[in-house]
Chain A
């Protein structure tokens, strides 16, 4: 029996070794079967408390974590910055200590500041799961994307993955690049030069400015949302021009290999980075990704909280 254990916190997709990442995917594979059963619930995390600490708006990630924790019978507390003491000026640290005092075994944290979950991990005893921090990382998204690719394509090793669009503001792109390179896939980032982060040449991937030259050799195309809410300058002349050069429409999709798939982490801007006909095509895994997100987050919560916690070891 393998004795692989995840690190106590899941902060970065880059923290996971190949074996740890595969353990999450294999565990998720077993848990995915639960969706087909009459009783979609397991008693495993009874008595554990999971706090969803969301400082930034989110629909799918927060509900996904909530469903995942509830299917494992954990108690879930949803905490959003709106309507909480944060709006009265409470600091992240004081919020964290309050949650700690309430006995949170895991804190799932989304924050607009890159690195907030890392800070949190120093202050509390429980596990911290990064559910998206600023433009930095979103490790469970990368895990569910890898899970979706492996299910659809049957493998990850040697898979050619194009990640297209607003890489600069994308935590999904960074987490995916780190995780997919650990798992042996070849990642190519495709974006206009203005939407690539400084230092991208040090990432474990290739970079291209030309979508049409990358598509014919891609097994997976992952379209990123143009994150206008984070754009405080002009990164491209017009939406129309961006869409022409970096949007995926039916014409471009026809250049993909026959079995290639199209992914999008959501929420989508239909007509900007992805055409409606592409999003709704058989190649699209967008709805599957949401379903897989629950299985992967269940796997992460089980692997972090299912065994003896650090303070319970030796007890």
Chain B
């Protein structure tokens, strides 16, 4: 299986990004309708790839992944007319960077009523970066049950992977520099939908690890 291409969106035309340390304000890369279209396409791709949605369980990684998971589930239900369970999996306790900073508060893990054993779990997160969060979420999932398969859907793939992990469904591939930040805004938590690309916080060392934590 090849990684999904951002077929529903126009390819990134290589627009100029702020130079490192440039104090320019964050620039929108996806607007409200773009986010909606990307999620609709992902929902269709999930149904197509799994030949229906009968076995699919959508699990979001808190916090924005959970919101996205709910929206993707709504779209799958609208297309297929079958009930699709949705839940969340908090990867905090499985992270490999817990000891690099102060203790993190836990987020909610919600196992759908039917469990995940034998199901196809679609993990959902907002931004795929180093891949470390997804690695932790995979470990967390394996303690919750044994899915038949796990697939990964992300709204933004910004590159800079530090682990052999890739997404099956991508809203938009967004080439970035390590110094940039990607902010996903969602109506439920931020009042509006959109994706912003901004210069990194000054003084922060440019590694995927620390930047992922900053978002």
Contacts and interface: CB of A to CB of B under 8 A. Distances in A.
B100 interface: yes
A304 B103 CA distance: 8
Interface stretch (A29-37, A159-167, A286-294): A29-37
A236 B214 CA distance: 61
Interface in B67-100: 90, 93-94, 98-100
Interface in B132-162: 139, 143-145
Contact of B139 (A33, A43, A306, A312): A43
B102 interface: yes
B106 A308 contact: no
Interface string B113-148: 000000000000000000000000001000111000
Contact of B98 (A30, A39, A44): A44
A39 B99 CA distance: 24
The majority secondary structure among interface residues of chain B is: loop
A38 interface: yes
Interface stretch (A1-9, A62-70, A193-201): A1-9
Contacts of A1: 104-105
Interface string A241-264: 000000000000000000000000
Nearest to B100: A308
Contacts of B108: 30
The majority secondary structure among interface residues of chain A is: loop
Q: How large is the interface on A (under 10, 10 to 19, 20 to 34, 35 or more residues)?
A: 20 to 34
Contacts of B103: 5-6, 302-304, 306-307
Contact of B102 (A5, A30, A31, A33): A5
B169 to A, nearest CB: 27
Nearest to A304: B103
Nearest to B143: A39
Nearest to A312: B99
A23 B105 contact: yes
A200 to B, nearest CB: 36
Contacts of B90: 30
Contacts of B105: 1-2, 4, 23, 26-27
A86 interface: no
Interface residues of B, number: 20
A77 interface: no
Contacts of A312: 99
Residue of B90, B94, B105, B111 ringed by the most chain A CB atoms within 10 A: B105
Nearest to B139: A43
Contacts of A153: none
Given A37-B143, A39-B143, A44 B93 contact: yes
B109 interface: yes
A37 B102 contact: no
B143 A30 contact: no
Contacts of A283: none
B139 A30 contact: no
A41 interface: yes
Interface in A24-63: 26-27, 30-31, 33, 37-39, 41-44
A307 B98 contact: yes
A174 to B, nearest CB: 27
Contacts of A4: 105
B106 A27 contact: yes
Contacts of B139: 43
Contacts of B111: 37
A133 to B, nearest CB: 25
A307 B102 contact: yes
Given A1-B104, A2-B105, A41-B143, A306 B94 contact: no
B183 to A, nearest CB: 14
B115 to A, nearest CB: 10
Nearest to B146: A38
A27 B108 CA distance: 10
A3 B102 contact: yes
B204 interface: no
B145 A42 contact: no
A315 to B, nearest CB: 9
B104 A307 contact: yes
A30 B99 CA distance: 20
19 contacts: A1-B105, A2-B105, A3-B102, A4-B105, A5-B102, A23-B105, A30-B108, A30-B109, A37-B143, A37-B144, A39-B144, A41-B143, A302-B103, A303-B103, A304-B103, A306-B93, A306-B98, A308-B99, A308-B101
Interface of A: 1-6, 23, 26-27, 30-31, 33, 37-39, 41-44, 302-304, 306-309, 312-313
Q: Which 4 residue pairs spanning A and B have beta carbons closest together?
A: A307-B103, A30-B106, A44-B93, A42-B93
